[in-house]
Structures are given as C-alpha cells and as structure tokens.
C-alpha cells in the first residue's frame, strides 16, 4: 500500500497540473491576504476615502437690491421668509420602491403644510377648478411645449408625430388634462394610486402601497413633476411651499429624521410699499421664462431656469443692477447619495440698491387727484336708465352710463363675491339672489339646448341680443378649450362664410365642424369610438351643458340679463355691498334700503 501511495505521489508531482495547482494556490493566498488587508486592516481608512470621492456643487442666489424714491423712501424691499424644499437624495431598491416611499412622504409633508394654514407652490400648467376638474392654464404653443415636456420630446415637432398613439390610445399632441394626469400618475411614471379608482391588489397590500384621495394625488403629482424636471441635477432643491409659518418650520424640523431630503431654507419675498400708487412704475418679479433666460444668459452666464427676475417696470429695466451675484458651495456625497461633508462655501452677494428720480409723496398726490377727477367724470355720467344706445353722430361728451351697467360692473369686476351667495352663512339677500340665479340658469340652459337641438334652428342674426351673447360665448369657450380647432377651418368654406356673416345658426355650424373635422372629438367623451356625426354632436351638446353649469364667465352673463330684467335689482346689489363689507358699515343707509325709503340709484 505504501508503494502504491508513493507511485501515486510521483505521478501527481511529475504532472504538469501539479505546478499549475501550486501557482493557483499561491495566487489565491495572495488574494485572501489582500482582501484581509483591505477590509480588516485598512477598512476604515478606505471607506472614508471611498465615501468622499463624489463631489457636487450647489448654487445659491443673492438677495435682490432695494428700490427707493429720490428722498430715500423705501418702495421695494425683501422680506425674510421660510421655504420648504426637497431634494432627491433618497436611497431606493427600484422605481416602484421609490414611488411608494416618496409619495407617502410627500403626502405627509403636504398635510403638515396645509394643517398650519400654508399653501403649496403650484406652477403646474394643469390646475384643479373649484369643482375638482382639471384644466390647462395655458394655450397655444405654450400648451404644446408642456405636452412635449410631459411625453419626453425635446421639440414640439416631435410631439406632432404622436409616436405612442397606439400604446396610449390617444394623440399626445391633443392630450387632455385628465389624460396627462393619468399618464403621469401611472406605475410607469410616478405610481400615484387613488382610492376608489385603482384596484388594490394582494401585492399592493404586501408592499403597503399607499392610496390617496384625488386631491392628494394631484398635489403629490405637482411636486413629483417638478422634481422630475430636475432629475438630471439630482441635488437641485425643489420648492414645495414658500412663506410658510413658524409652526410649519418647527414641525418639519422636528420630523427631519423621517422626511428624507425635506428641509426648510431661509428665503426672501419681494414686497412693495404702497403698490397701488407705484405698481406701473416699479413693476414686479416672477420666475424666469425660457425666452427671458435665453436673452439674459447672453450677458450673464450665471442665470438658471429657476431664477426670479424682473418682469416689468424698474424691476425689469434695472435687472442687471438689482440682481445680486450668486454664491456656491461644494459638498461631498457617499455612494448612495447622502451628503457627508461640505466645504468651499462662497456666499452670495446682494444686488445694488436703486434710487429713482420720482417723489413718492408727489406721486400719491397726483394719483389721488387723477382718481377724483375720473370718479367725478364717471359720477356725472351715471343716469337712472337701463341701457344707452349712442346715435351715429354722437360724440364722446354725449355718452352716459346706465345705472344697470354700474350694478353689473360690480359683479363683472369681482367687487361683489358671487361665490359667497351659495355659502351656508350667506345672508337672506344673497340667498334670494342666488335662488334667482339658479332659476335663470335652468331656463337659459334649457333654451340653449332647445336652440342647438332643433332640426331647423334660427340663424344667428334672427336671435335676440341675449341669446346671441350666449351663442357667442359657447363658441369662444370651445375655441379657448381647443375643441374648435381654428387652424383646421377652411376660410373659403361656404358654411363658414355664412356663419361669419350671421346667416347661419350655431347648431348648423357645429354639425358642419364635426363633419369637416374642425372639432377635436377627443376633447369630450363619446360612448363609441366610431360614433357617427349625430352621436358626436349629441356628445358635444352634453359637454357644452356640463361646461356652462360651472362656467363663471357664463354665470356673469346671466347676472347681466337678470339685472336688465329686474330679477336682481339695485337695492339688493347695494345691500350686498354693505353685507360683504365693500361699503363701510352704515346702519341708517342699510335700514333705508331695506324699508324702501332709499333706492339703489340714490
């Protein structure tokens, strides 16, 4: 047996694999020794070096300069305020994990802010109206630029190609506010789930996926979209709310260990002294637009798309003087994105102050003199008549102002708050006016539906002034909402020419518009994807009725004709002026109006 073992060892040693095995064992030993040295002996030192190798830089804006009059009286200044910000510095396993954690955190931050009476900053181009419906806040090329940004196109021309139409089920270039909202909150984007809308799966329960109300979902999406716009600069601060209270600051700071990336920074808000007198001179500031950025960056490369710049007046003309120079700080982050050290801070410097040649007291005096002069002219022209139609040869001196126009102006210019009429604490007068409004709205909507549904409706020129006003409003509404595509209209079309010359009804014009594809049917719901012209027209009528129900401008038109028809009178208007605090309290005048001894004109 010993001889057999000896022969076996001789064969192994004499084999070429033996030498190769020894080399591999030797190399493996060296590797183990190096790993031991790296991880055990020098592990702490190497970890410090590793975590301090990623260098970032953050820019800080300077304080804007003040504006004074010739005597050194302050006209524009900066007031210290607190801003809630967030930066994308979290660590997540994957996109779904990020959506779950970040959405839940943002919801908590929003609740903290609103609980203390503060409001979110919202520059999102889709807004929620008082009924919770989504609406675009821009039109035309600005809207198309927004749509292109949402769907990831660098150029508007690329958006028009609608590459994802088959996948999405609609044209990206014609996406409605609701379609964009649903796209952005989908699992492929921000993963924002809505209670009662999205199905709760077993996987969602296991992963504790949060669900939100529609209002919460909208607010979370506003912040997520803004963060997504800066995703190429991970450490850029995104503003959640400005000018927040000390209570919000304290709550955010107390929970900073849980609210990752959320912080409160000191900021400034531009304030104006006696802005009523100087607004047309001083101007105002606002977030820089793309066009302004492209112009300003030619002279100063430090401008960014998040800067606040002068928009008009002195603020704009003296922008380069008022705008301070930016500061910056370098900081280091570890391999998972946490800030571990800060150095090389350069503080931002304030802009220069500007002294104007105007005398503020003289400006106020001139303003009041001019105001009194205009008021006197207006007062002298008001007459107790319902309407005034100037004759062909009438001069400007002949023009008079009907008292009904004055009553309506108080509503049309938002002096009187018509939204207060429907509140629970509305006065008896406000409730009576609101009930009259509801009756008027019901009858007018029924008449509009009748006009638009008739087989042989009256031409526009044959309608009364009131119904003409309503028909014009409907067409303007459809045009503003881009339901009526004016770019697609054939100007030489006979039907269009008849409508232009008032020789056609709105009903016939809209039916023709659907047939000619001048009307974008994706802007309103239809029961069938392949509806015929009549089905599409019925769907359009339903859409018009729905929109008019909540259209504030249409409501104001109703009030105009209610005043003309005495459904709302001058006494009620004046009583409401007292009740809403627009006129100073006067018990005698209020009582005289109430008992009929004083009329609205007086």
Q: How would you label 365-403 residue by residue, b for 16+ Cβ within 10 Å and e otherwise? A: eeeeeeeeeeeeeeeeeeeeeeeeeeeeeeeeeeeebbb
Q: Is 323 helix (H, G, I), strand (E, B) or coil?
A: coil
- C-alpha to C-alpha distance for 344 and 324, rounded to whole angstroms: 20
Pull the structure tokens for residue 438.
């509801």
β-pair partners for 477 = none
pLDDT of 508 > 50? The answer is: yes
Query: Tokens 């509140």 appear where?
Result: 423
The conformational region for residue 90 under phi > 0 = left, psi -120 to 50 = alpha, else beta, is beta
- C-alpha to C-alpha distance for 364 and 276, rounded to whole angstroms: 9
* pLDDT tens per residue across span 66-122: 999 999 999 999 988 898 988 876 667 778 888 888 899 999 999 999 998 898 888
* pLDDT tens per residue across span 516-571: 888 887 666 555 555 677 888 888 999 899 889 888 999 999 999 999 999 999 99
Model pTM score: 0.61
Q: Find the helix or strand (DSSP H, E) in which 420 lies.
A: none
Mean pLDDT of 130-143: 82
Closest CA relative to residue 404, chosen from 179, 176, 564, 593: 564
- C-alpha to C-alpha distance for 263 and 261, rounded to whole angstroms: 6
Closest CA relative to residue 128, chosen from 224, 216, 188, 242: 216
* pLDDT tens per residue across span 372-429: 999 999 999 999 998 888 887 878 788 899 999 999 999 999 999 999 999 989 999 9
Closest CA relative to residue 402, chosen from 380, 381, 431: 381
For the chain, helix (H) and strand (E) counts, in that order, are: 25, 16
β-pair partners for 212 = 194
Residue by residue, DSSP assigns 325-387 as BPEEEEEEE-TTS-EEEEEEEE--BPPPPEE-S--HHHHHHHHHHHHHHHHHHHHHHEES-S-
pLDDT of 52 > 50? The answer is: no
β-pair partners for 343 = 330
């Amino acid at each position: 047996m010993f001889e057999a073992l000896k022969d076996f060892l001789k064969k192994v040693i004499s084999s070429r694999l033996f030498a190769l095995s020894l080399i591999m064992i030797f190399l493996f030993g060296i590797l183990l020794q190096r790993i031991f040295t790296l991880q055990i002996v020098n592990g702490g030192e190497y970890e410090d070096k590793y975590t301090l190798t990623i260098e970032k830089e953050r820019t800080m804006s300077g304080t804007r300069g003040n504006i004074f009059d010739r005597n050194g009286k302050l006209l524009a200044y900066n007031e210290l305020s607190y801003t809630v910000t967030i930066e994308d510095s979290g660590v997540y396993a994957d996109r779904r994990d990020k959506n779950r954690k970040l959405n839940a955190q943002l919801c908590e931050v929003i609740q903290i802010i609103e609980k203390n009476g503060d409001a979110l900053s919202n520059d999102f181009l889709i807004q929620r109206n008082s009924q919770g419906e989504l609406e675009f806040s821009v039109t035309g090329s600005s809207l198309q630029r927004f749509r292109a940004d949402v769907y990831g196109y660098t150029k508007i021309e690329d958006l028009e190609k609608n590459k994802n139409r088959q996948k999405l089920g609609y044209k990206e270039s014609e996406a409605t506010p609701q379609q964009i909202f649903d796209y952005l909150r989908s699992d492929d984007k921000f993963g924002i789930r809505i209670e009662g809308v999205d199905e709760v799966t077993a996987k969602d329960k296991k992963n504790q996926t949060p669900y939100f109300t529609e209002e919460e979902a909208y607010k979370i999406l506003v912040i997520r979209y803004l963060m997504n716009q800066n995703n190429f600069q991970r450490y850029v601060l995104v503003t959640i709310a400005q000018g927040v209270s000390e209570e919000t600051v304290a709550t955010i700071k107390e929970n900073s260990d849980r609210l990752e990336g959320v912080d409160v920074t000191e900021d400034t808000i531009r304030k104006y002294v006696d802005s009523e007198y100087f607004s047309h001179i001083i101007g105002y500031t606002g977030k820089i637009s793309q066009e302004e950025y492209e112009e300003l960056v030619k002279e100063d490369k430090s401008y960014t798309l998040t800067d606040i710049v002068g928009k008009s007046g002195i603020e704009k003309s003296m922008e380069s003087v008022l705008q301070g120079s930016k500061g910056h700080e370098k900081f280091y982050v570890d391999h998972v994105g946490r800030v571990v050290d800060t150095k090389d801070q350069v503080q931002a410097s304030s802009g220069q102050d500007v002294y104007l040649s105007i005398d503020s007291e003289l400006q106020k005096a001139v303003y009041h003199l001019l105001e009194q002069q205009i008021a006197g002219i207006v007062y002298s022209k008001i007459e107790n008549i319902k309407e005034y139609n100037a004759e062909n040869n009438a001069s400007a001196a002949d023009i008079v102002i009907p008292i009904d126009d004055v009553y309506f102006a108080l509503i049309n210019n938002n002096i009187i708050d018509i939204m207060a009429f429907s509140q629970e604490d509305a006065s008896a007068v406000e409730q009576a006016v609101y009930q009259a409004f509801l009756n008027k709205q019901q009858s007018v909507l029924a008449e509009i539906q009748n006009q638009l549904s008739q087989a042989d409706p009256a031409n526009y020129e044959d309608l009364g002034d009131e119904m003409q006003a309503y028909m014009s409003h409907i067409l303007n509404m459809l045009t503003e909402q881009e339901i009526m595509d004016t770019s697609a209209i054939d100007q030489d079309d006979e039907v269009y020419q008849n409508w232009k010359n008032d020789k056609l009804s709105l009903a016939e014009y809209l039916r023709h518009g659907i047939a000619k594809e001048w009307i974008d049917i994706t802007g309103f719901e239809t029961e069938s994807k392949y509806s015929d012209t009549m089905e599409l027209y019925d769907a359009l009528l339903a859409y018009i009725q729905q929109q008019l129900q909540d259209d504030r401008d249409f409501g104001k038109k109703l009030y105009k004709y209610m005043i003309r028809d005495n459904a709302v009178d001058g006494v009620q208007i004046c009583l409401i002026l007292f009740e809403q605090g627009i006129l100073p309290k006067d018990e005698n005048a209020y009582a005289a109006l109430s008992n009929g001894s004083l009329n609205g004109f007086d």
